[in-house]
Amino acid sequence: MYQGKMIDSHIHPFTDDLNESINIAAFGVTKSEEEFFAELKKCGFSKVCGSVLRKGPATFEEIKGLNRTALALRERHPEYVPGIHIHEADVEGSCKELEDMYHLHHVRWIGELVDYALKTGIYNSPKMMQIYETARDLSMPVNIHCSDLTVIEDVLKNFPTLPLVVAHPEDVGNAKKRFELIAKYPNAHIDISGTGLFRWGMLRYAVNICGSEKILFGSDFPICSPGMNLGGVLSEPLTDSELENIFFRNFERLTA
């Protein structure tokens, strides 16, 4: 049984004072900030990463507020690595946000970005592409929730040195197409949170197609169960080296 380090690269934490607006758990079992991080520690994760979300569309000022909530959470929970948001409504402000977060607050992760929920910008819009220029220059990975492979490929083609992490394999047919796209571009990666891993053999298939250096562990907690995803990975026929890549090496390399 694997006994090495484990990092969950896709979570969405919340604070007690903002519980109702940013706790997106479908069944609401995890009701407090302390319970949230305790659950991840119970599963054995030494580090966790992801963005603070909210219910409904957000303005640029509101997503800046979510970013600062992420910084505050890191102060209370040092194992948490903030993922921050950007917004096409303010290109200049978003670029400055990236610069400030990188240089002043030592943040190294963008996303998960969720335009479908926050309405912060289609991922390959001209304005988002301008913001990616700053992300590329800072070598900050961008984690996006996007089902449209043409949109994902447009970003990959235009920014061959920007580390792009696609969230979620999705189900069988889509997953196979996503793995083929990830394998095609050196700067493309995928996290295995959300739909997909419950299909037996999916991860072994993904490693065969993409290579284990392209795949990051993620749970999407509290939307999905971190323990279930953890069990799904450990039960697949993978080598220790492949497991190490998926559980921590890839994330540490991208955020070095």
Which domains are assigned to the chain? 7-254 (3.20.20.140)
Q: What share of the chain has pLDDT > 90, as a percent?
A: 91
- Model confidence at 18, pLDDT cuts 50, 70, 90, reads low
Distance (Å, whole) CA 152 – CA 235? 30
> What tokens does 140 get?
């900050």
Average pLDDT over residues 214-231: 96
Reported as a single tens digit per residue, the pLDDT across 69-120 is 999 999 999 999 999 999 999 999 999 999 999 999 999 999 999 999 999 9
Reported as a single tens digit per residue, the pLDDT across 121-131 is 999 999 999 99
Would you state the pLDDT for residue 3? 87
Would you state the pLDDT for residue 1? 79
Average pLDDT over residues 42-62: 96
Closest-CA residue to 104 (of 132, 71, 128): 71
Would you state the pLDDT for residue 51? 98
**pLDDT higher than threshold 90 for residue 20:** no
Would you state the pLDDT for residue 225? 94
Average pLDDT over residues 141-163: 98
**pLDDT higher than threshold 70 for residue 21:** no
Distance (Å, whole) CA 176 – CA 187? 18
**pLDDT higher than threshold 80 for residue 22:** no
**pLDDT higher than threshold 80 for residue 4:** yes
Strand partners, 155: none
- The string over 106-135, giving b where at least 16 C-beta atoms fall within 10 Å of a residue's C-beta and e elsewhere, is ebbbbbbbbbeebebbebbeebbbebbebb
Would you state the pLDDT for residue 55? 86
